[in-house]
Amino acid sequence: MIVRSLTFEDRAGSFRVVIGDRALKHMLHLCAADPERETGGILIGFYSNDFTTAHVVEATSPPRDSKSGPDWFHRGTEGLEAMLRKRWDGEPRTHYIGEWHFHTANIPWPSAQDLKQMRAVAQDAKYNCTEPILVIVCPVGENQWVFRSYVFHSGDLTEELHLVDYSELERADSRGQNSAEPTGRKERPRC
Domains defined for the chain, CATH in brackets: 5-179 (3.40.140.10)
Kind and range of the H or E run holding 46: strand 40-47
Q: What is the pLDDT of residues 142-156, one digit of tens each?
A: 778 899 999 998 767
**Residue 2: predicted pLDDT:** 60
Question: pLDDT exceeding 90 applies to what percent of the chain?
Answer: 68
pLDDT tops 80 at residue 184:
no
Query: Which has more confidence, 144 or 182?
Result: 144
pLDDT tops 90 at residue 103:
yes
Confidence of residue 188 (pLDDT cuts 50, 70, 90): very low
Phi, psi of 23 (to 5 degrees): -65, -45
Q: Which residue among 9, 36, 38, 78 is the active-site one?
A: 38
CA–CA distance, 27 with 12 (Å, rounded to integer):
28
**Residue 165: predicted pLDDT:** 82
**Burial of 177: CB neighbours in 10 Å, binned 0-12, 13-18, 19+:** exposed
**Burial of 155: CB neighbours in 10 Å, binned 0-12, 13-18, 19+:** exposed
Query: Which has more confidence, 161 or 144?
Result: 161
36 in active site: no
**Residue 107: predicted pLDDT:** 87
**Residue 155: predicted pLDDT:** 64
pLDDT tops 90 at residue 31:
yes
The dihedral formed by the CA atoms of 44, 190, 151 and 85, expressed in degrees to the nearest 10: 20
Task: Determine contact, residues 66/76, Cβ cutoff 8 Å.
Answer: yes
pTM of the model: 0.85
Task: Determine contact, residues 45/54, Cβ cutoff 8 Å.
Answer: yes
Please state, in angstroms and as integers, the Cα–Cα distance from residue 22 to each residue in 25, 59, 110, following that order.
Answer: 5, 8, 23
